Amino acid sequence: MKPIATIRTIGHFLAVSLLAYPAVLFAQEAELDFDYFKNEVQPIFLAKRDGNVRCIQCHTRSSGFRIQALQEHQLFWSDEQSQMNYESAIQYVLAGEDPLKSRFLTHPLSVDAGGDPFHGGGKHFHSQFDPEWRIMADWVAGAKTRREPSEIAVRIIQTNAAGDDSTVIDPATNEVVGRITDIEIPHGVVGAPGGSQVYITNEAMHSLDIVDARTLRVKRRIPLSGRPNNVAVTSDGKKVYVAIMEMPGSVDIIDVASMSNVKTLPVNGAIHNVYVTPDSRYAVAGSIQTRTINVIDTRTDEVAWELEMSSGIRPMTFDTKADGSTKNIFVQLSGFHGFAVVDFDKRQEVARIEHPAVPGEEAHLDGLQGAPAHGLAVSPDGKTLWSTSKVYSHVYIHSLPDLKEIGRVFVGQHPEWITFTPDGKRVYIGAAGDHVTYSVDAEKMEAIAMIPVGQVPKRVATVLMALD
């Protein structure tokens, strides 16, 4: 049952100034949609904005606009609580009217931007084009779903393993264009294929955090069965697989549409990294503790086969056959300075490549955490395999399928994960020891920028992000 508040506005015209947000021009009969309020507006009450207290910190005790308190470890409101929040919020809303007539919208909005003079909770939004304020204004105007983005762009997201943030980089300029905050110990990151949101595993709260691409705020934290490591998404965007780094071992499967953790699949060993194969037919999960690669069938979400290797499973990547199915798994192993090759059909190791020392380069043996080589990626055209060495501060480039070394690039202290831009022209590598992300020209095989990011950058991913 959906509670609905309706107000008719007859022949309502508004003189629009350049400052004003024009949502009202489209509203003839506005309904205050409950699902939109629940999933899009409510996250704003939980979000931490720089310099502001979260709305929920004050309004659980308010006699006016009242937000239901969350129990300890409760990460989001139940439907019943959401309904109570909704009923309280609509007291301060004039549906379909000029947004500046709703106290709900004017109270947290700066005076300069059209807000009212005083809010005991301070001013949270400084423009009517603030993406969070727009979400609220669209709700007041009758929105049932988020508006379509006018622009979607490629972004590189670098999570900072010892930071409380993730850095958003524009690969067209190599500039930092945003920061995702409020996730302490972000681990892995992947993007929704359509660009609406990104998924970041939160080691501190044991949650999968959904980050809205347009606001860069955490939109929902989904409770996990244990402490997470890396994360992967299917190419249709419907399912997210989360590595749970706790024995005896599991992978949590998240249904994106309902934003819920629908299955905790037992696997062999605590899982460090999980990947979805390029054809999305399998999720491949590796354990350091049991040295096992677990291959999960994504149609049944059951383990299809497993393979024990000589030592712990570190980063993996894949190449494909002409039909798009998986040909090999390339895998880095604990204590091995290079990578192994596993034939996907034969389900066995078929080759091993050790990276040679780099003449003149001092070997780093401190702080390797058991993994001398810890970053692997295949170029989008399938012609090269890139593998980082923490020992020699280089990325080694091999041709495929013959696995001949064709080049090396210095990429800073303790280089880690690797990601390509979709056009294959740029490679981004987190240099954990230098607190920068390297941008490498893939064709020339030379570093072209060192982008300052946060503390100990490791996991890095290429995503699409809706900008507006």
118 binds ligand HEC (CB under 6 A): yes
Of the candidates 84, 117, 83, the one whose C-alpha atom is nearest the C-alpha of residue 100 is 117
Residue 163, φ and ψ in degrees, nearest 5:
-110, 180
Q: How many CB atoms lie within 10 A of CB 348?
A: 10
CB of 25 to ligand HEC, least distance (A): 24
Is the Cβ of residue 125 or residue 275 nearer to ligand HEC in the bound state? 125
Is the Cβ of residue 123 or residue 355 nearer to ligand HEC in the bound state? 123
390 binds ligand HEC (CB under 6 A): no
Q: How many CB atoms lie within 10 A of CB 308?
A: 12
CB of 69 to ligand HEC, least distance (A): 14
Is the Cβ of residue 140 or residue 213 nearer to ligand HEC in the bound state? 140
131 binds ligand HEC (CB under 6 A): no
CB of 148 to ligand HEC, least distance (A): 25
9 binds ligand HEC (CB under 6 A): no
Stretch that binds ligand HEC, among 14-22, 61-69, 286-294, 459-467 (CB under 6 A): 61-69
C-beta of residue 164 within 8 angstroms of C-beta of residue 203: no
Is the Cβ of residue 119 or residue 408 nearer to ligand HEC in the bound state? 119
Tokens of 391: 């020992």
C-beta of residue 291 within 8 angstroms of C-beta of residue 311: yes
121 binds ligand HEC (CB under 6 A): yes
Tokens of 110: 């700066």
Residue, CB closest to ligand HEC: 121
134 binds ligand HEC (CB under 6 A): no
Of the candidates 271, 264, 266, the one whose C-alpha atom is nearest the C-alpha of residue 229 is 271
92 binds ligand HEC (CB under 6 A): yes
C-beta of residue 228 within 8 angstroms of C-beta of residue 198: no
Q: Which of 9, 103, 405, 467 binds ligand HEC (CB under 6 A)?
A: 103
Q: Which of 104, 318, 339, 396 binds ligand HEC (CB under 6 A)?
A: 104
Tokens of 8: 């008719």
Amino acid at 149: P
C-beta of residue 439 within 8 angstroms of C-beta of residue 174: yes
Q: Which of 5, 119, 343, 449 binds ligand HEC (CB under 6 A)?
A: 119
**Within 26-45, which residues bind ligand HEC (CB under 6 A)?**
44
CB of 44 to ligand HEC, least distance (A): 6
Amino acid at 276: V
**CB within 8 Å of 254: residues ≥ 6 apart:** 199, 208, 222, 239, 240, 241, 242, 260, 261, 262
**Within 147-186, which residues bind ligand HEC (CB under 6 A)?**
none
CB of 125 to ligand HEC, least distance (A): 8
Tokens of 249: 């071992």
13 binds ligand HEC (CB under 6 A): no
Tokens of 100: 């500046």
- Please state the length of the chain: 468
Q: Which of 38, 42, 59, 271 binds ligand HEC (CB under 6 A)?
A: 59
Residue 248, φ and ψ in degrees, nearest 5:
-80, -10
84 binds ligand HEC (CB under 6 A): no
Is the Cβ of residue 39 or residue 264 nearer to ligand HEC in the bound state? 39
CB of 317 to ligand HEC, least distance (A): 42
Provide the terminal-to-terminal Cα distance of the chain, rounded to the nearest Å.
32
Stretch that binds ligand HEC, among 19-27, 103-111, 276-284, 414-422 (CB under 6 A): 103-111
- Residue 112 Cα distances to 67, 70, 163, 210, angstroms: 27, 33, 34, 32
Q: How far apart are CA 203 and CA 187, in angstroms?
A: 6
364 binds ligand HEC (CB under 6 A): no
356 binds ligand HEC (CB under 6 A): no
Q: How many CB atoms lie within 10 A of CB 276?
A: 22
124 binds ligand HEC (CB under 6 A): yes
Q: List residues binding ligand HEC (CB under 6 A).
A: 44, 53, 55, 57-59, 62, 64-65, 92, 103-104, 107-108, 118-121, 124
